[in-house]
């Protein structure tokens, strides 16, 4: 009798495990989170706004104006320009203030990456996976519309959404190309700062069907794509440049394991950052990672969605 | 300046000065670049700098930043009250009772920028009746609610 090959020698440990077990996808992933030190629980995310400070002379006046309209706002303690919408009588995305680009709607954790760059004014910045543009408009705001942002995305429909965001937020320093980040060298430009908010598997906090939709294979496919993007964009980074790498995935393959890989294969080092979250994992399912991966920040869902962020610099030997 | 933009601006009795060497045309759309952006601009960009507007069927359709630039200068404007502000960004015309202030002659046929009480430009329209007569006096041509309509189209 032919043996039943449930386990292929090339499939990953977790793929093999999920094939062998009778676990549901939810059990499978939540068990992984438990092993990584976090107990799964459902979360209810609050809508968050970010004030576009370059377009608002006095942010407290805008907050008062929105409160007078019936939005109940509380300051997000770990963000300079972020406010949670506790209650509202109408959509925060349909006010004159929003349509005039005085503020944007952007999840709280997603507001963190752009703030981690040191000095952005007059820099040449690459936003490698830019659509729909929340972080691009935030970068432009932090740059006070100086320097230049090159924003890339592959999907034309998403580029239209990105362009609308740029126009709404009064962004003047950005050029948008329909281009796969893996082909960034075609533009023949080097960058002082690179934001890699890479395509990822997402997390259950922002997608109620996440566990039904996702498999470990998706995670591994995304992780491979992220490594390709990292490899190609690092080539275009100035020697004293900075990369901020972020995902809204909870899966270590897309986060700590990829950063460990970048340290070993791309001569990058992880710079310490200070932001909301916990230190990155340095031991993942029994695998010991480079100690500096602890400089990454991992945010488990709770006050915000799940998130991962780190700052990469070229190592001195590179 | 570029003729379609110049002609449009003059409809409002306004005048703005844009550095022509920094204006690029991509198909029917006009963009204003900064000097640092110009160095990075290749032919096949999707969007760049400040979107000024597009020409379609011989007519110029402005971008909102162009309207904002005009609103900062001398131009025909009306300031509307809060209720009219909301109705206008929902695509409605302006009634006489919603106008708080008229800047410029406000003659029938004139184009006017429509501003809220914070001085934010909500869009523009055309005066279709004497501004001292009751009823609809300004026909809405473009308003910032267009961003929401575009969002709905791209979803």
CATH 3.30.70.1170 positions along chain A are 47-105
CATH 3.40.50.150 positions along chain A are 109-314
b/e code B136-154 from CB counts within 10 Å (16+ = b): bbbebebbbbbbbebbeee
Are residue B100 and residue B132 in the same domain, yes or no?
Answer: yes
The residue count for chain A: 318
- Report chain B's C-alpha Rg in angstroms: 16
3-class secondary structure, A76: coil
Give the pLDDT of chain A (318 residues) as one tens digit per residue.
Answer: 444 444 444 456 666 555 555 578 999 999 999 999 999 999 999 999 999 999 999 999 999 999 999 999 999 999 999 999 999 988 999 999 999 999 999 999 999 999 999 999 999 999 999 999 999 999 999 999 999 999 999 999 999 999 999 999 999 999 999 999 999 999 999 999 999 999 999 999 999 999 999 999 999 999 999 999 999 999 999 999 999 999 999 999 999 999 999 999 999 999 999 999 999 999 999 999 999 999 999 999 999 999 999 999 999 755
Query: Residue A22 has what pLDDT?
Result: 56
Are residue B39 and residue B92 in the same domain, yes or no?
Answer: no
b/e code A157-195 from CB counts within 10 Å (16+ = b): ebbbbbbbbbbbbbbbbbbbbbbbbbebeebeeebbbbb
In sequence order, the β-bridge partners of residue A270 are A312
Chain B residues with CB-CB distance to A146 below 8 A: 36
Tokens for A21, please give them. 């077990």
Closest C-alpha to A36, from A253, A201, A295, A215 = A253
Name the domain boundary from B53, B70, B87.
B70
Tokens for B148, please give them. 């929401």
Tokens for B69, please give them. 């630039």
Are residue B144 and residue B85 in the same domain, yes or no?
Answer: yes
Residue A287 Ramachandran class (φ > 0 left, ψ -120 to 50 alpha, else beta): beta
Residue with tokens 């206008």: B88
Alpha-carbon distance A243 to nearest alpha carbon in chain B (angstroms): 20
Are residue B45 and residue B97 in the same domain, yes or no?
Answer: no
Average pLDDT value for residue range B48-72: 97
B154–A160 CB contact, under 8 Å: yes
Q: A180 with A204: CB under 8 angstroms?
A: no
* Domain contains B138: yes
Q: Residue B55, CB half-sphere, CA atoms under 13 Å: how many?
A: 13
What superfamily would CATH give domain A109-314?
A: Vaccinia Virus protein VP39 (3.40.50.150)
Q: Which domain holds residue B89?
A: 76-150
B36–A147 CB contact, under 8 Å: yes
Q: How many domains does chain B have?
A: 2
> What span, in angstroms and rounded, lies between the C-alpha atoms of B65 and B80?
20
B89–A99 CB contact, under 8 Å: yes
Question: Given B44, B64, B89, which is nearest A167 (Cβ)?
Answer: B64
Are residue B142 and residue B80 in the same domain, yes or no?
Answer: yes
Q: How far is CA B98 from CA A153, B50, B117, B132, in A?
A: 43, 31, 11, 12
> What span, in angstroms and rounded, lies between the C-alpha atoms of A123 and A125?
6
Q: B62 CB near a chain A CB, below 8 Å?
A: no
Enter the DSSP assignment of A290.
P
Q: How is domain A47-105 classified at the architecture level of CATH?
A: 2-Layer Sandwich (3.30)
Which H or E run includes A156? helix A156-168
Order of strands, sheet of A82-88, starting from the edge strand that comes earlier in the sequence: A71-75, A82-88, A47-51, A103-105
């Amino acid at each position: 009798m032919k043996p039943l090959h449930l386990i292929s020698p090339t499939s990953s440990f977790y793929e093999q495990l999920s094939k062998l077990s009778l676990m549901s996808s939810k059990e499978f992933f939540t068990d992984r989170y438990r092993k990584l030190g976090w107990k799964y629980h459902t979360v209810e995310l609050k809508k968050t706004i970010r004030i576009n400070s370059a377009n608002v002379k006095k942010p407290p006046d805008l907050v008062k104006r929105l409160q007078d309209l019936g939005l109940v706002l509380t300051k997000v303690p770990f963000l300079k320009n972020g406010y949670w919408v506790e209650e509202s009588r109408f959509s925060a995305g349909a006010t004159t203030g929003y349509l005039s680009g005085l503020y944007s709607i952007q999840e709280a954790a997603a507001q963190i990456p752009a703030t981690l760059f040191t000095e952005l004014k007059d820099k040449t910045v690459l936003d490698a996976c830019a659509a729909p543009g929340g972080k691009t408009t935030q970068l432009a705001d932090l740059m006070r519309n100086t320097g230049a942002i090159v924003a890339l995305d592959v999907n034309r429909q998403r580029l239209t959404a990105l362009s609308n965001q740029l126009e709404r937020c009064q962004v003047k320093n950005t050029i948008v190309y329909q281009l796969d980040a893996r082909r960034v060298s075609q533009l023949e430009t080097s960058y002082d700062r690179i934001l890699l908010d890479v395509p990822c598997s997402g997390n259950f906090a922002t997608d109620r069907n996440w566990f039904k939709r996702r498999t470990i294979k998706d995670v591994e496919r995304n992780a491979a794509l992220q490594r390709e993007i990292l490899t190609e964009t690092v080539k275009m980074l100035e020697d004293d440049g900075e990369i901020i790498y972020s995902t809204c995935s909870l899966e270590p393959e897309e986060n700590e394991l990829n950063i460990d890989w970048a340290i070993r294969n791309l001569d990058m080092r992880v710079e310490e950052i200070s932001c909301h979250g916990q230190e990155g994992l340095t031991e993942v399912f029994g695998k010991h990672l480079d100690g500096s991966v602890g400089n990454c920040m991992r945010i488990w869902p709770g006050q915000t969605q799940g998130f991962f962020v780190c700052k990469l610099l070229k190592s001195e030997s590179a | 300046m570029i003729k379609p933009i110049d002609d449009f601006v003059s409809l409002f009795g306004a005048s703005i000065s844009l550095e022509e060497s920094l204006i690029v045309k991509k198909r029917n759309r006009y963009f204003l670049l900064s000097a640092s952006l110009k160095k990075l601009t290749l032919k096949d960009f999707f969007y760049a700098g400040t979107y000024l507007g597009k020409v379609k069927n011989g007519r110029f359709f402005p971008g909102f930043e162009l309207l904002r630039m005009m609103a900062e200068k001398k131009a025909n404007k009306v300031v509307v009250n809060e209720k009219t502000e909301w109705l206008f960004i929902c695509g409605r015309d302006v009634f006489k009772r919603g106008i708080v202030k008229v800047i410029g002659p406000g003659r029938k046929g004139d184009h006017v920028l429509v501003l809220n009480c914070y001085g934010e430009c909500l869009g523009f329209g055309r005066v279709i009746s004497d501004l001292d007569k009751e009823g609809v006096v300004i026909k809405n041509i473009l308003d910032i609610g267009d961003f929401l309509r575009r969002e709905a189209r791209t979803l």
